Amino acid sequence: MKGAEFLVKALEREGVEIIFGYPGGAIMPVYDALLDSKIRHILVRHEQAAALAADGYARATGKVGVCMATSGPGATNLVTGIANAYMDSVPMVAITGQVPTHLMGTDAFQEVDIFGITLPVVKHSFLVQTSEELPRVVHEAFQIARSGRPGPVLIDLPKNVAAGSADFAYHDNEFDEHPPVPHAGSLAQAAELINASRRPIVYAGGGVGMACAVDEFREFIERTRIPVVSTLKGLGAIPTEHELFLGMMGMHGTKAANYAVQACDLLICVGARFDDRATGKLSGFAPHAKVVHMDVDPSEIGKLRHADAPVAGNLRWALVALARDLEITAWQRHCLALKESHAWNYDAPGPGVYAPFFLKRLSQLAGKNVIVACDVGQHQMWVAQHFDFCRPEQHLSSGGLGTMGFGLPAAIGAQLACPDSCVINVSGDGSMMMNLQELATLRRYDLPVKIVLFDNRALGMVRQWQELFHSRRYSEVDLSDNPDFVQVAESMRIPAIRVEQQKDVEWSVRRLLSEPGPVLAHVLIHQEANVWPIVGPGMTNSEMLDEVPS
Amino acid sequence: MKQAEGALVRLLGVTRRRRFDILSLKAFPAAEAGFYDVQMTVRADRSGSSFVRQIEKLVEVSDVEVIELTDPAETARAAHSGT
């Protein structure tokens, strides 16, 4: 059997149903073998989109997303997507073709050291030098990608190894993928702190969903009745409409969430990593709080904030062990009062579309079986603030890397993963241009993704920062020469509508959701619309701005 | 650590990325076939224990032994608390 044939069969054995990729010279043997496989290959129009689609697929399902590209520029085009998966701990296997082994190191045509290039942005990587290594490499790649703290794994496959023949046997080593049970002493420490706290807050991150610990997390909250804040990736760990959910915390978090965290005496961090977007100025973050830090990755505990009770290991186990009744009624009332007094106001400031209201209405009409894949920028923050999520896997957002162009490919991956779900891509004019070519992929596979493109004719978030923190010195944020996005979509045979007035929000949202196939809504918003509140650079989460300083 | 493709480079890359200076480095075949013994002295203004945890995450690393650890963060905490 040829190496490529074995690779494809091994992928089938690992449960791979879809590969996102783009062919080329070095990877050609694998594309030949794919013709005889039941694995469905999705042809994108840029390899970056292959990696981002695999990422979206993985976020929506919890399964390992698989992408593939040829050597050289094909491989380097995957790098942003691999780094994106690394920063957000997404399970992915990226397969790259490589020049034949006898040409490696000679600057051959389309040769790059993709193994070396991706070393800092992969969980692990393999260069397959002989056919005999293939069975072990494929099996280990998937185990590593999905176990513990998930992440991307690269398999670099020289062409002669793919084309060569050998007798292959599947590799089935025994590898315990279950995270270790937390140390009993750590749990006892954490329990003591929880019992003694009077003003606890739970700070939930993306780890809750990735550990498949949502049910245990919700039981913990229902038992303890501790108010909850979340990171961007933690949204949906508890339904965002739950009374105890105070909102996202941090740079564009809700006032209630930020004030509560700053006042708490115990911060219970569950599957989060004290990222600077969440904490603001670290030295001023949760200044009165002791910390219980629960995470599967011991290297995150104590990395940025000392943990008074470090709880490393199996999150589900820890949450069950620590669930208990608490008497914190006064604190609960305080937090709920904060939530009420700082509730969002959806009054549109003028006749133009008010993006937060649009998203709120979309959320209300889209129903529960919805997945939202965002791009990066102001619209991303508005989604986090105003869209309601029931589960973390409904909200696909590039958090750690903040990759513009993520949204449409991720939506493609999510729609293929969940064909019965309503998948919405919320994007901006800057982000949409970065992977615009994937509208063709949407059409090719008839994927019914609903695209909401907020167009402010600017690189909005950067414009906002230049307005607030660079004395309105606007540098390279003018996108007033955008194409007509309706015409662009229609040229790709995707229906499109334009929305310009607040009075058009209701019909346009309903029109969007009722379209059976893909559709794009080009929503014009005010060029100077800002995301509020904002915690500026060097500021603590107590110091939120909610208007432009005079 | 295992003598796998890129293993040493990966170790050095993590050291650099986590902002630790390498003061000395020795790598030689271990008694167990297919493994290196690596002795590395590093310095940084960050917690050494966090660096150890980063190294332990590497797939090729089988064991990490800290010979001597002078942790600036822990030293500062001790000074602040008067211990």
Digit-coded pLDDT (tens) for A488-538: 999 999 999 999 999 999 999 999 999 999 999 999 999 999 999 999 999
* pLDDT score of A163 more than 60: yes
Beta-carbon separation of A119 and B6 below 8 A: yes
**CB-based contact (8 Å) between B80 and chain A?**
no
Enter the pTM of the model. Answer: 0.95
Name A310's Cβ contacts closer than 8 Å, sequence gap at least 6. A186, A293, A298, A301, A302
Comparing A3-163 with A184-341, is the CATH topology the same? yes
* For range A420-433, the mean pLDDT: 98
On whether the CB atoms of residues A52 and A435 are closer than 8 A, the answer is yes
| Separation in Å, CA of B39 to nearest CA in chain A | 21
Angle at B17 between CA B12 and CA B18, to 5 degrees: 100
**CB-based contact (8 Å) between A129 and chain B?**
yes
Q: Is residue A533 classed as helix, strand or coil in its secondary structure?
A: coil
* For range A56-70, the mean pLDDT: 98
Closest CA to A518 of A446, A457, A414, A440: A446
Distance CA A508, CA A32 (A): 45
- Nearest chain B residue to A298 by CA distance is B53
Name A46's Cβ contacts closer than 8 Å, sequence gap at least 6. A22, A77, A435, A437, A438
Name A538's Cβ contacts closer than 8 Å, sequence gap at least 6. A281
On whether the CB atoms of residues A262 and A287 are closer than 8 A, the answer is yes
Name A503's Cβ contacts closer than 8 Å, sequence gap at least 6. A351
> A302 is written with which tokens?
């104590």
Those of residues 306-345 in A touching chain B at CB distance below 8 A are 306
Residue A346: predicted pLDDT: 95
Q: Which residue in the block uniquely carries the two structure tokens 């590497």? A: B58
Phi-psi region of A218 (alpha: psi -120 to 50; beta: other; left: phi over 0): alpha
Contacts of B50 in chain A (CB under 8 A): 299, 302-303
**pLDDT band for position A550 (cuts 50, 70, 90):** confident
Torsion, CA A430, CA A432, CA A436, CA A438, rounded to 10: 150
- What are the start-end ranges of the H helices in A225-347? 255-263, 276-279, 315-322, 329-341
Closest CA to A403 of A151, A83, A142: A83
**CB-based contact (8 Å) between A125 and chain B?**
yes
Neighbours of A472 (CB within 10 A): 10
Q: Which residue in the block uniquely carries the two structure tokens 């783009």? A: A22
Selecting from A124, A125, A299 the residue whose C-beta is nearest the C-beta of B54 gives A299
* pLDDT score of A111 more than 80: yes
Residue B74: predicted pLDDT: 56
* pLDDT score of B69 more than 80: no
Beta-carbon separation of A299 and B57 below 8 A: yes
Residue A311: predicted pLDDT: 97
Distance CA A236, CA A273 (A): 17
On whether the CB atoms of residues A352 and A500 are closer than 8 A, the answer is yes
Name A541's Cβ contacts closer than 8 Å, sequence gap at least 6. A249, A250, A253, A258, A261, A262, A279, A280, A284, A285, A535
Number of domains in chain B: 1
Residue A424: predicted pLDDT: 98
B18 within domain boundaries: yes
**CB-based contact (8 Å) between B39 and chain A?**
no
The superfamily in CATH containing domain A355-537 is Thiamin diphosphate (ThDP)-binding fold, Pyr/PP domains (3.40.50.970)
> A359 is written with which tokens?
């998203």
- Nearest chain B residue to A126 by CA distance is B5
| Separation in Å, CA of A496 to nearest CA in chain B | 45
* pLDDT score of B80 more than 70: no
**pLDDT band for position A231 (cuts 50, 70, 90):** very high
B67 within domain boundaries: yes
Q: Which is higher by pLDDT, A131 or A16?
A: A16
Q: What are phi and psi of A502, to 5 degrees?
A: -60, -35
- Report the percentage of chain A scoring pLDDT > 90: 96
Range of the domain at B16: 7-81
Q: In what order do the strands lie in the sheet with A496-499?
A: A395-396, A370-374, A422-428, A450-455, A519-524, A496-499
Name B20's Cβ contacts closer than 8 Å, sequence gap at least 6. B42, B43, B44, B46, B51
- What are the start-end ranges of the H helices in B6-61? 7-17, 48-56
**pLDDT band for position B70 (cuts 50, 70, 90):** low
Residue B73: predicted pLDDT: 61
Active site amino acids of A: 47, 109-110, 159, 461
**pLDDT band for position B67 (cuts 50, 70, 90):** confident
**pLDDT band for position A189 (cuts 50, 70, 90):** very high
**pLDDT band for position B79 (cuts 50, 70, 90):** very low
* pLDDT score of A195 more than 60: yes
B23 within domain boundaries: yes
**pLDDT band for position B83 (cuts 50, 70, 90):** very low
The rounded Cα A346 to chain-centroid distance in angstroms is 27
Distance CA A16, CA A65 (A): 8
**pLDDT band for position B81 (cuts 50, 70, 90):** very low
Selecting from B10, B17, B53 the residue whose C-beta is nearest the C-beta of A299 gives B53
* For range A372-397, the mean pLDDT: 98
A70-80 residue pLDDT tens? 999 999 999 99
Q: What are phi and psi of A92, to 5 degrees?
A: -150, 145
> Which CATH number belongs to the domain containing residue B67 in this structure?
3.30.70.260
Asked casually if ipTM beats, i.e. exceeds, 0.85, the reply is yes
**CB-based contact (8 Å) between A120 and chain B?**
yes
B22-47 residue pLDDT tens? 999 999 999 999 999 999 999 888 87
SS (H, E, C) A133-197: HHHHHHHHHHHHHHCCCCCEEEEEEEHHHHHCECCCCCCCCCCCCCCCCCCHHHHHHHHHHHHHC
* For range A301-307, the mean pLDDT: 95
Name A537's Cβ contacts closer than 8 Å, sequence gap at least 6. A469
Distance CA A249, CA A252 (A): 7
> A469 is written with which tokens?
């923190």
Fold category of A3-163 in CATH: Rossmann fold (3.40.50)
**pLDDT band for position A287 (cuts 50, 70, 90):** very high
Class of domain A184-341: alpha beta
* pLDDT score of A369 more than 50: yes
Distances (CA, A) of A410 to A57, A58, A81, A207: 7, 9, 10, 19
Those of residues 9-28 in B touching chain A at CB distance below 8 A are 9-10, 13, 17
Name A143's Cβ contacts closer than 8 Å, sequence gap at least 6. A175, A177
Residue A155: predicted pLDDT: 98
Residue A146: predicted pLDDT: 96
Distance CA A421, CA A411 (A): 11
Q: What are phi and psi of A46, to 5 degrees?
A: -155, 135
* DSSP per-residue letters across A193-249: HHHH-SSEEEEE-THHHHTT-HHHHHHHHHHH---EEE-TTTTTSS-TTSTTEEEE-
* For range A367-383, the mean pLDDT: 97
B75 within domain boundaries: yes
Contacts of B9 in chain A (CB under 8 A): 116, 119
Supply the DSSP symbol for A90.
-
Domain-wise residue ranges, chain A: 3-163, 184-341, 355-537
Contacts of A299 in chain B (CB under 8 A): 50, 53-54, 56-57
Residue A174: predicted pLDDT: 64
On whether the CB atoms of residues A533 and A255 are closer than 8 A, the answer is yes
B1 within domain boundaries: no
**CB-based contact (8 Å) between B59 and chain A?**
yes
Residue A105: predicted pLDDT: 95
